[in-house]
Amino acid sequence: MTNAENNPQVGKLQRDKLEAKEYVDVRNNRLAERKDKYGESLMRLVVSEKNLLKAAKIVKRNKGSAGLDVMTVNEIESHIIEMSPYLRKKLLDGTYKPQPVRRVEIPKPNGGIRKLGIPVVRDRVVRQAIRQMIEPIIDKHFLSHSHGFRKGKSNHTALKECVDYYQHG
């Protein structure tokens, strides 16, 4: 591993941290391990037809409203099959642009309004396809008491953990 103090790629803020030596080049090493393991880039795994179709099935199962393009979740699997070469190319060359979200206002019980953005279904599939590949790599590095935006964790599990800590001293 590269010495943090002598590595010009490490910014000043990181150089001043005590743990910098341990983390220099960690990101690059992890991606290289993944690439070596599968013999291809992580993004190629994201855009594989199998992964995109699995993502489409999950988005369909989650239901949800159509975005600005009015495509429903029931239409997404056939759309992904038809458009996967185009979608794959756009994602791999970095030219894919998510569509604008449809804005809706939902009334709250207290009289206010909650503003909600509904992405187009295709963008939900792309996000899910990325998540399916990235989450298993990243999640194992979180601490067990980290609850934000994690599968099987929520603010409720965090509060329960706090209560348990309080009750057990």
Q: Residue 35: its pLDDT value, please?
A: 53
Q: What's the confidence (pLDDT) of residue 95?
A: 92
pLDDT score at 20? 40
What pLDDT score does 51 carry?
Answer: 95
Cα dihedral value 81, 82, 86, 90, nearest 10: -50
Spatial distance between the Cα atoms of 123 and 91, rounded to a whole number of angstroms: 11
Nearest to 55 by CA among 121, 119, 144: 121
Closest CA to 136 of 57, 53, 63, 38: 38
Query: What pLDDT sits at residue 78?
Result: 93
Residue spans per domain, the chain: 1-39, 41-167
The pLDDT tens digits along the chain (169 residues) read 334 444 444 343 333 333 344 444 444 445 455 555 554 688 899 999 999 999 999 999 999 899 989 999 999 999 999 999 999 999 998 899 999 999 999 999 999 999 989 999 999 999 999 999 988 887 777 767 777 767 777 788 888 888 888 888 7
Task: Quote the crossing angle between the two packed helices 121-139 and 49-62, to the nearest 10°.
Answer: 110
Q: Residue 28: its pLDDT value, please?
A: 45
- Burial classification of residue 130, based on how many CB atoms lie within 10 Å of its CB (0-12 exposed, 13-18 middle, 19 or more buried): middle
